[in-house]
Amino acid sequence: AVYAEYDIMIWSATSMKWINLKMSQLGVLDNPNYKITALLDHLAMITVQTASRGVFDCKPLGLIWAQFPELTEKFTFLSGEKKDN
């Protein structure tokens, strides 16, 4: 499977309880075709303030990229329902 070539991180603005439930129901966590690297919940988000958007929580991808040089914006796909992600 092509997904075996990718490190997959699941990052949700919800709690870990819901991430585990959703991923288990979808069969993601036990599927050998997916290489799940990490599960991150709302506690891994930071609060920022900008002039255009005000105060909001966001996913600090720059921190992940700084800590793990093999992971970069070139290899990141972000999917979600919130525009602030």
Q: Is residue 62 part of a domain?
A: yes
Q: Is residue 66 part of a domain?
A: yes
Would you state the pLDDT for residue 81?
62
Q: Is residue 77 part of a domain?
A: no
Q: How many domains does the chain have?
A: 1
Rounded to 5, what percent of the chain is helix, strand, coil? 30, 20, 45
Q: Is residue 16 part of a domain?
A: yes
Q: Which residue did the predictor score with more confidence, 70 or 49? A: 49
0.85 surpassed by pTM: no
For the chain, how far is it from start to end, CA to CA, in angstroms? 28
Could you tell me where the beta strands, DSSP code E, fall in 3-66?
A: 8-11, 36-40, 46-50, 54-58
The pLDDT confidence band at residue 83, using thresholds 50, 70 and 90, is low
Would you state the pLDDT for residue 2?
59
